Amino acid sequence: MFSVDKMDRYEIIARLNEITSFFSFGRILGYISFFETVGIERQLKHGQESNRDRLLSTEIDFLCGLWLQNVNLAKNWDIIKDEEIRKEVYGLMDDLHNLYRDSQDFGDLFVENYFYEGDLAYNWQYIKFAKEKYNEQILSFKLRDEYEFDTTVIESTFNKIITTLVNQIRRRIDEKRRKNEYVCPLNLFTIKSNKIRKIFSPEEQNILKRMSYKLGDKLPDKICDITDYNYFKQYPIIELPDDRGLFFANTNSLAAAINETPYYWLSEDKSFQKKLADLRGRTAENIVYKIIQRRFPKSSYNHILIKRSKSSDIITDIDAMLCDDDMGVVFQVKSKRLTELSKQGCLTSIKEDYKKAVIEAFNQGLKCIECLNHASEYYSLRKANMTFAENLNLLNVCITLDSFPCMSSLNYLNQPKDSRVPVIAMSVYELDIIFYLFQADSIMDYFKFRSEYALHGIYGLNEIYYIGAYISYNLGEGIKLQGNKICREHALYVDYLVKKAKYGRYRNKDIDCDIYSFVDQYPISSPITCK
């Protein structure tokens, strides 16, 4: 065994490779799944003493990927060693994180932000937008015909998984209390094969099959570091040997995979790639427009072409826009994805991806605002009755279809000097949360707040940090900063409120909430203390 105190990055991964070569490691993954998902609310209420106290979703995915890669089904350790090995795994993962966090290399720091940023969306968002991303008839038909992936049963499949696991965990835990019997953590998150066939329809079973990888089968790629391609992220259901059932180690990653993996299938057809890109772009714009329409049904616009005269060429176009009183927000939407090279910390690739995903959208937004400021001079804006825009205070917001890790930090680093128009960029998932939590008047006020903070060089690791700071500010609680960075506790508080809303008072997925109508039930001081 290696000396834990002096391990470098590759020695840590070598030790993790050794541990994950045992079939018994499945019990450790079951334990992790329980305390990092089922027990999350308890943890939120009592705070986190250190990173060692919990693992992030990306870390669970990494360990699952190593297990798929390394497992020898015949290797087992005695169950009495589980706790010792669990503690070692948490310690190794904490040490690995510290090596990235303490590095002075920009690529390592980007990787640290990318890998350890936390979940970039909620599982219900992944499922909701998956239906919309593949709603185009040509896409849904191709997925059903060529991949046996029926998009009409995405939601029912995922909901059945969650319901079955929750009921199963509750029943097993109750039995443990009554009978004082050992409960295998792996079994808590495993749905047996006979139950799969009983609960899920043939179409739903096909989705499970398409999202699964059989434990013990050889992987096409090897994981040597946290940045390497991880097959588990694309196929996050583990099929256990001997028809034992399906192991759901990370349901949030499953939701993300249902959202993202079909795109990779579709893109394999080279003759279909251009069509796919066009459909992605159109879908992205439609999703953003539907989000803003929820709160601004009479003052939202989309697909606004800007032409100087009837016969002239199109100068630019506005993907979506909303207005309220004397203020407006121009949204430019991009469907650019983060490349694998960027995920590995390649500085050149990071800059290029960010340029295509954000900077190009930002510059286009500036051009649109300039035209709107002189709307009466443009034929197309006059025809669309948009001349009122000349009197609006206009903000420029860039939206990406997929989550773009570290976007907020990159926005901060790319703020134009001496500009009164800050770079504000977020994913559709973050935009959706803003419009889910706040009423219309608060939304416009939030964008003003967001703009002012960006201009003053204050930033959060993602949009949830800003939302938390805004709520705290409006409640008169003040905003906690570490230098010019918003403290993590603000983000954790929002996460806590969203879960209380979504799985409690506002369980109906079609109803947006009003955060201030129940925030007093969960005081800002209750969940977290920033450590």
pLDDT in tens, 135-164: 889 999 999 999 999 999 999 999 999 999
pLDDT at 180 (0 to 100): 82
The mean pLDDT of 245-249, rounded to a whole number, is 97
Taking Cα atoms as reference points, which of 374, 427, 377 lies closest to residue 398?
427
pLDDT at 509 (0 to 100): 62
Tokens of 213: 């990888």
Amino acid (one-letter) located at 489: E
Of how many residues is the chain composed?
531
Q: Identify the band that residue 198 occupies on the pLDDT scale cut at 50, 70 and 90.
A: very high
pLDDT at 43 (0 to 100): 39
> Would you give the distance in Å from CA 348 to the centre of its chain?
24
Backbone angles phi, psi at 213, to 5 degrees: -135, 135
Rounded-to-integer distance, Cα 206 and Cα 201, Å? 9
**Which residues, in sequence order, are CB contacts of 388 under 8 Å at separation 6+?**
323, 375
Rounded-to-integer distance, Cα 430 and Cα 464, Å? 7
pLDDT at 239 (0 to 100): 98
pLDDT at 2 (0 to 100): 40
pLDDT at 418 (0 to 100): 66
Q: Identify the band that residue 111 occupies on the pLDDT scale cut at 50, 70 and 90.
A: confident
> Would you give the distance in Å from CA 488 to the centre of its chain?
17
Model pLDDT for residues 159-187, shown as the tens digit of each residue? 999 999 999 999 988 888 888 888 899 99
Q: Which residue has better confidence, 515 or 468?
A: 468
pLDDT at 39 (0 to 100): 47
**Does 289 have pLDDT greater than 70?**
yes
> Would you give the distance in Å from CA 95 to the centre of its chain?
25
**Does 16 have pLDDT greater than 90?**
yes
Question: What's the whole-number average pLDDT of the chain?
Answer: 87
* Residue 349 CB-half CA count within 13 A: 13
pLDDT at 531 (0 to 100): 34
Q: Residue for token digits 């889910």?
A: 436
Rounded-to-integer distance, Cα 65 and Cα 59, Å? 10
pLDDT at 1 (0 to 100): 39
* Beta strand spans in 250-326 (E): 300-307, 314-324
Residue-range domain boundaries for the chain:
4-268, 281-521
Model pLDDT for residues 408-451, shown as the tens digit of each residue? 777 777 777 767 788 899 999 999 999 999 999 899 999 999 99
Percent of the chain having pLDDT more than 90? 60
> Taking a C-beta distance cutoff of 8 angstroms, is the pair 480, 468 a contact?
no
**Does 34 have pLDDT greater than 60?**
yes
Model pLDDT for residues 349-359, shown as the tens digit of each residue? 777 888 888 88
The mean pLDDT of 281-307, rounded to a whole number, is 94
The mean pLDDT of 496-502, rounded to a whole number, is 83
Most confidently predicted of 4-8, 103-107, 131-135, 473-477: 131-135
pLDDT at 525 (0 to 100): 57
Q: How far is CA 88 from CA 40, 179, 358, in A?
A: 21, 30, 41
Most confidently predicted of 206-215, 269-278, 329-338, 464-473: 206-215
CB burial of residue 309 (10 Å; 0-12, 13-18, 19+) = exposed
Percent of the chain having pLDDT more than 70? 91
**Does 207 have pLDDT greater than 90?**
yes
**Does 227 have pLDDT greater than 70?**
yes
pLDDT at 40 (0 to 100): 41
pLDDT at 3 (0 to 100): 42
Q: Which residues pair with 322 in a beta bridge?
A: 300, 329
Q: Identify the band that residue 335 occupies on the pLDDT scale cut at 50, 70 and 90.
A: confident
pLDDT at 100 (0 to 100): 85
Residue 346 region by backbone torsions, left for phi larger than 0, else alpha for psi between -120 and 50, else beta: beta
**Does 253 have pLDDT greater than 80?**
yes
pLDDT at 317 (0 to 100): 95
**Does 129 have pLDDT greater than 60?**
yes
Tokens of 409: 């930090």
Tokens of 369: 């605002």
Poorest-pLDDT segment among 103-112, 204-213, 295-304: 103-112
Q: Identify the band that residue 497 occupies on the pLDDT scale cut at 50, 70 and 90.
A: confident
Judging by DSSP bridges, how do beta strands 327-334 and 481-482 pair with one another? unpaired
Q: Identify the band that residue 393 occupies on the pLDDT scale cut at 50, 70 and 90.
A: very high
The mean pLDDT of 249-277, rounded to a whole number, is 93
Q: Identify the band that residue 459 occupies on the pLDDT scale cut at 50, 70 and 90.
A: confident
Which pTM does this prediction carry?
Answer: 0.90
Rounded-to-integer distance, Cα 374 and Cα 321, Å? 16
The span from the first CA to the last CA of the chain, in angstroms, equals 32
Q: Cβ of 177: how many Cβ atoms within 10 Å?
A: 10
